[in-house]
Amino acid sequence: MQAPQEDAHALVVKYTALIKDYPRLRAEKKRVPNEANLESVYARLARETNPEARQVLLVARQFLLKARVPKPQGLPEDVRGLVSSLDTSLELEMAAQIPPDSPALELVQAVEPDFLADIAWHASGGGYVNQKESEAARKAFAYLEQIFEKHPSREVKALALATGANLYSRPRMLTETKAYVDRLEAFAPGHPAVAKWREWLKQAAKEDLVAPKVGNPVPHFKVEDLDKARHEITPATFKGKYWIMDFWASWCGPCKAELPNLHKAFAKYKSRGLEVLSLSWDKNARDIAAFRKDPQHLMPWHHAFPQGELAKTLNAAFQVRGIPHVLLIGPDGKILATTEALRGEALEQTLEKYLPALK
């Protein structure tokens, strides 16, 4: 007679212990229990008919895969891309199948709480469907609110609030971040995330005075022109002009999707004095050169390839946490618009608003 299958909550307990112990077993070269092998998880997923149990197994599969695959930076470029694609596809699959009241979120809370931010973002379709970032964010926050309303676990409810603060902190929306931290403190006094986010808010308020946001001067920087040896580019290079600062990479799908819009806008507005500076997140300059050999990707404007500490300094100064990241700067060196107003159809609408027409 076949033993009865564990329910979802029993699976959460089991996989919490297995996943937490997995690194130690691998490091000590000890036998990993069969249920912690990816092959076993895939096999059970193939036959599992209980939706809640399937949801737990999907999360367990993701965590075990991350524990088993080497750190991406230790892999060759093409393999890194393959791992990244696989990771994204699995996250999208999870987000599509895990409802806000799922026991699977208890496994997330117990093993890797920060992962809830990824699930919430992918629940919105993230950057992989045709929608504005603001719409994707709205859906992500709606998912978190449903978790808070519907999930039976107080720990998971608290995690949903902490994740809300996390997501709002990425574009540095201080008022919204504080609102989530206040809710978390009221709901779960003493929660460790409260102290963390209070400190972050204090520091962010200081930094916000010089942050790269609309109305503030563009932060100073100095980069080497990729196409002109020993030629430096600074904000002064564009003094008296309107210019776009575009953080991108040749491997970035959303960046490539925006290129036709940027090419079109540059062709139309360069006669009005528009300049563009693209700063690449690529791993090496050869990738940029190869990409720009394609007639559809000529990108006939200024380019820079900051590396190492310079790249870190630039990303920190401009608060770049993902790409594409775009700024429009005016002749006086002040920021006129940021990413949301500079993608898709909004790009030309924004430029038309600021760049004076030729007489």
Position 169 scores a pLDDT of 87
The CATH number linked to 348 is 3.40.30.10
Supply the DSSP symbol for 40.
H
And the tokens for 244? 């776009």
Asked if 87 contacts 122 with a C-beta cutoff of 8 angstroms, the reply is no
And the tokens for 86? 């696989």
Domain membership flag for residue 218: no
Asked if 64 contacts 38 with a C-beta cutoff of 8 angstroms, the reply is yes
Residue 70 to residue 57: CA distance in whole angstroms: 21
Domain membership flag for residue 359: no
3-class secondary structure, 61: helix
Same domain, 258 and 139: no
Per-residue three-class SS string for 212-270: CCCCCECCCCCEEECCCCCCEECHHHHCCCEEEEEEECCCCHHHHHHHHHHHHHHHHHH
Domain membership flag for residue 46: yes
Domain membership flag for residue 37: yes
Q: Give the global pTM.
A: 0.65
Domain membership flag for residue 240: yes
Distance of CA 69 to the CA centre of its chain: 21
Distance of CA 100 to the CA centre of its chain: 21
Position 157 scores a pLDDT of 98
For the chain, how many residues are written? 359
3-class secondary structure, 276: strand
Same domain, 104 and 147: yes
Residues with Cβ < 8 Å from 229, sequence gap 6 or more?
A: none
What angle do the packed helices 51-68 and 38-47 form, to 10 degrees? 160
Asked if 120 contacts 143 with a C-beta cutoff of 8 angstroms, the reply is yes
Residues with Cβ < 8 Å from 32, sequence gap 6 or more?
A: 22, 25, 26
Q: Any bridge partners for residue 244, and if so which? A: 276, 328
Asked if 274 contacts 355 with a C-beta cutoff of 8 angstroms, the reply is yes
Domain membership flag for residue 1: no
Same domain, 14 and 48: yes
Same domain, 193 and 60: yes
Domain membership flag for residue 216: no
Same domain, 161 and 252: no
And the tokens for 8? 């979802």
Position 192 scores a pLDDT of 94
Position 205 scores a pLDDT of 85
Same domain, 198 and 75: yes
Which of 176, 208, 240 is the last residue in one of the domains? 208
Same domain, 58 and 192: yes
What is the C-alpha radius of gyration for the chain, rounded to an integer number of angstroms? Answer: 23
Cα dihedral 251, 254, 255, 258 sign: positive
Q: Any bridge partners for residue 247, and if so which? A: 279, 325
Residue 270 to residue 255: CA distance in whole angstroms: 21
Which of 179, 208, 237 is the last residue in one of the domains? 208
> What residue type is 272 in one-letter code?
R
Domain membership flag for residue 232: yes
Supply the DSSP symbol for 33.
P
Domain count, the chain: 2
Same domain, 149 and 298: no
Position 82 scores a pLDDT of 72
Q: Any bridge partners for residue 302, and if so which? A: 277
Same domain, 182 and 259: no
How many helices (H) and strands (E) are present in the chain, helices listed first? Answer: 14, 7
Same domain, 74 and 198: yes
Which of 208, 233, 265 is the last residue in one of the domains? 208
Same domain, 171 and 262: no
Asked if 58 contacts 98 with a C-beta cutoff of 8 angstroms, the reply is yes
Same domain, 175 and 236: no
| Residue ranges making up the domain that contains 107 | 8-208
Q: Any bridge partners for residue 280, and if so which? A: 248
Task: Tell me the pLDDT of the chain (359 aa) as tens digits.
Answer: 344 467 899 999 999 999 999 989 888 889 889 988 889 999 999 999 999 999 999 999 999 988 887 665 566 666 666 767 777 788 888 888 999 999 999 999 999 999 999 899 888 776 555 556 667 788 899 999 999 999 999 999 999 999 999 998 877 788 999 999 999 999 999 999 999 999 999 988 887 766 788 988 999 999 999 998 889 999 999 999 999 999 999 988 889 989 999 999 999 999 999 999 999 999 889 999 999 998 888 999 999 999 989 999 998 889 887 889 999 999 999 999 998 899 988 999 999 999 876 54
Q: Tokens 């949301």 label which residue? A: 340
Position 12 scores a pLDDT of 96
